Amino acid sequence: MSQTLSIGTVLRERYMITDLVGQGGMGAVYRADDLRLAGRVCAVKEVLPELISVPGMEEQAYEQFYREASTLARLDHPNLPKVSDFFQEAGRAYLVMDFVAGPDLRQLIEDARRRDAFLEEAEVIGWMDQLCDALTYLHTQEPPVLHRDIKPSNIKLTPRGLVKLVDFGLVKLLQPDETRTVTVVQGRGTVAYTPLEQYGGDTGHTDARSDIYALGATLYHLLTGQAPADAKQRFLKPGSLIPPRDINPHISPHVERAILAAMAQHPDDRPASVEVLRQMLRSREIEESPAFQIPRNSQTAELDWIIALRAHRGLVTAALLLTMAALLVTLWSPLLPAAPR
């Protein structure tokens, strides 16, 4: 892994690095002071050079970086950090955006677990409503902007109660003799929140429904306190995804239904848009209109049975007991002595 920047390093004669916020295989994120605007704090995302230094492809990689950075710089939404600058220096590419103060949602999950508690559903749904606003905005851009790595640790909660979706991935490297692109800096996602189609790399097709899967998996984690079984495990071992209300019975049935719909393995079985998912989360009952119908398949039918059986557990138990009693009477009645005439 490349060496990170030292504290005190000044980039572009403007951004002084004051802290390493996070680091991974795809790059690093720093906190920095803007030396031209006193008091302004920035987040600087660094793209590691080995990820874009494919022999003969460096120029195309940086061109792609600038195209996508320009797209992000044009975005303006209260639930997204504002991108203010992007540049190349010493063989590395950098993206500068607002620094978002406050904890991320992964930290809040861990705090709740230490208290042996769950996050409140109403508060979590409020966060989801804000995220749906941000994703609807991204997905309706021309061309659409996909995040590809939605997860609790990439969602910050500001002191004013605003959530912000952070850590965009940028660089896509155009493969020689190919018309499709491959995400180099980000796009593989994080295992527990990544749909099957995103594992395909350059052969996989992702669209807004891939972000919907990740949002559903994030909601699962927020309300249950544990990350869901990942898509590969679910494919190899059907039934490995524990229904959310089996972990946290305080989750509303309609919210569980929305989570499971968003996390359907096949994209066609998920809500068609973030707005459809938002309506499912808001509704106490699934809407009957065609706009809110989720395609049915064996997986969703099985989940329907799980949810229905759990919701009517008392009736099912009573019916089973009555059935057993009737069976016992039927079996034992020939053995009973005949009544006197």
Residue numbers annotated as active site? 149
Nearest-10 crossing angle of helices 105-114, 208-224: 20
Radius of gyration over every alpha carbon of the chain, rounded to an integer in angstroms? 25
Taking alpha carbons only, the member of 121, 302, 299, 132 closest to residue 212 is 132
Distant-in-sequence, close-in-space partners of 305: CB < 8 Å, separation ≥ 6: none
Q: What is the DSSP string of 292-310?
A: GPPPP-HHHHHHHHHHHHH
Instruction: Give dist(CA 81, CA 164) in Å, integer.
Output: 7
Instruction: Give dist(CA 36, CA 131) in Å, integer.
Output: 32
Q: Which two tokens stand for residue 258?
A: 């929305």
Instruction: Give dist(CA 273, CA 188) in Å, integer.
Output: 21
